[in-house]
Amino acid sequence: MVATLLSAAPSGIPEPFLRAESTLGKFMLMFFAIAFFAAVFGLVLFLASLFKGRTGEKAQGAIFAAPAVLLLAVGLMYPAILTIIQSLRGKSGDGSFSFANYSAMFTQPELLTVLRNTALWVILVPFLATAIGLLYAILIDRARGEAFAKALIFLPMAISMVGASIIWKFVYQYKQTDRPQIGLLNQILKVFGFETRQFLLDAPVNTLMLIIVMVWIQAGFAMTILSAAIKAIPDDIIEAARLDGVYGLRMFRYITLPSIRAALVVVLTTIGIGTLKVFDIVRTMTAGQFETSVVANEFYNQSFRYDAPGLGAAMAVLLFVLVIPIVTYNIVQMRKEA
């Protein structure tokens, strides 16, 4: 392969600058890359500084933004357009123009299940994670050991989705009722005299079980931001409200909630976008079996396993479409604030 690469390399980049096998070589390559990127960065700044005057101003802005915009155009925009085209060209993605993939998506029962699951995820995860995060943020606000209490909820964020899935798969482990249990959840069922269950097998409960994992990861994020938002409510407002005799739940309803509204919106939408793209959890826990597949996972399967890239592309396009309202809302919100 190395040889092919070299011969195929139009620019003929010398091998040590591409790959390295020794530890030293790798680190050298890494430092070289950082220096290289820094040099590019410097070059952009230098180029920008050459432009002076009013028109120069404008050119400078464009040059500053250029590297990022260029990379995005090539790396995301171009593939996105390719995908849209593919989705309109039949199951294999290279046939003649048709809407067949889209009609398949909304008529085949198993793909409809995928859509139903995705809807469940997108509705449940943001709201549950935000609600739990908010409740916890309120409960521990200015309590003793707040930092530690926060870290406990926070920690799942540092764990990869695959790691989290392994953790929860263990919680859901199934053994027959009369045998010693190794999964915590079934042990609890057993202690209370219920039959043990196969949580990952029975639809639609299994989708809820996967959703719990995502909520577990995201609640910490919601909690962090909402806690910061709560702390930022000016004290005088609270004082004033209190002088007016507002306390307790009314304080929450009329002062806290309105004050953190913007933060709530951001938390909900961010988690929503993340949830639409969820892939690792489903793949690790059920591999999309037992009616648990979601759009992102089905896209991967159709494109790379079932040799139906056109259908996969239609799935991806559906993802964009689903996220558009969220993004638009966010942008409108941003405009208002600006």
Partner 1 sequence: MALKSTRRSAKVLAALATVSLGLAACGGSDDGGSTDAGKDSGATKIDCAPYKTFGDLKGKTVTVYTTIVAPEDGPHIASYKPFEDCTGVKIKYEGSREMEAQISVRVKGGNAPDIAYLPQPGLLKTLVATGKVIPAPPETEANVDKNMPDWKTYGTVDGKFYAAPLGANVKSYVWYSPTAFKDKGYEVPKTWDDLLKLTDKIATDNPDAKPWCAGIESGDATGWPATDWVEDVMLRTAGPEVYDKWVAHEIPFNDPAVATALAEVGKILKNPKYVNGGQGDVKTIASTSFQDAGLPILDGSCYMHRQASFYSANFPKGTKVAEDGDVWAFYLPAKDESTKPVLGAGEVTAAFRDAPEVKAFQTYLSSTEWATERAKTCGTGGCLTANINVDPELLKNPIDNLSAKTLTDKSATFRFDGSDLMPGAVGAGTFWKGMVNWITGQDDKATLDYIENSWPKS
Partner 2 sequence: MSTLQPAATPESVSDEVIAPRTKVKKPKKSAAGDAAGALNSRWASFVAVVIAVLWTTPTVGLLVTSFRSQIDINKSGWWNAFANPGAFTLDNYRQALEPGSSASFTQYFINTIVITVPAVLLPIFLASLAAYAFAWMPFPGRNVLFVAVFALQIVPLQIALIPLLDIYTNKLGFGASYWSVWISHTIFALPLATFLIHNFMRELPGELMEAARVDGAGHVTIFFKILLPLLTPAIAAFGIFQFLWVWNDLLVSLIFLGGTPEVAPVTVRVAELAGTRGSAWYLLSAGAFISMIVPVIVFLALQRFFVRGLLAGGLKG
Chain positions 276 to 335 lying near partner 1, rule: CB under 8 A, are 283, 287, 289-290, 300-301, 304-308
Interactions with partner 1, residue window 180-209 (CB under 8 A): 198, 200-201
- # residues contacting partner 1 (CB under 8 A): 23
Two structure tokens written together for 133: 């995060």
CB of 274 to partner 1, least distance (A): 23
C-beta of residue 77 within 8 angstroms of C-beta of residue 301: no
Interactions with partner 2, residue window 251-280 (CB under 8 A): 251-252, 255-256, 258-263, 266-267, 269-271, 273-274, 276-277, 279-280
C-beta of residue 214 within 8 angstroms of C-beta of residue 129: yes
- How far apart CA 65 and CA 79 sit, in angstroms, is 21
Interactions with partner 1, residue window 89-148 (CB under 8 A): 91, 110
Q: Which x/- pattern over 164-183 shows residues binding partner 1 (rule: CB under 8 A)? A: ----------xxx-------
Task: Classify 95 as helix, strand or coil.
Answer: coil
Scanning 94-102, 106-114, 199-207, 226-234 for contacts with partner 2 by CB under 8 A, the matching segment is: 226-234
Task: Classify 333 as helix, strand or coil.
Answer: helix
Q: Classify burial at 182, counting beta carbons within 10 Å of its beta carbon; exposed 0-12, middle 13-18, buried 19 or more.
A: exposed
Using CB under 8 A, which of 19, 43, 131, 202 touches partner 2? 19
Interactions with partner 2, residue window 78-107 (CB under 8 A): 78-80, 82-83
Should residue 155 be labelled a site residue for partner 2 when binding is judged by CB under 8 A?
yes
Q: Which is nearer to partner 2, 107 or 263 (CB)?
A: 263
Exposure string of 190-205, with b = 16+ CB inside 10 Å and e = fewer, is: beeeeebbebbbeeee
| Number of helices and strands in the chain (H, E) | 17, 0
Interactions with partner 2, residue window 227-256 (CB under 8 A): 228-239, 241-242, 247-249, 251-252, 255-256
Q: Which amino acid is at 118?
A: T
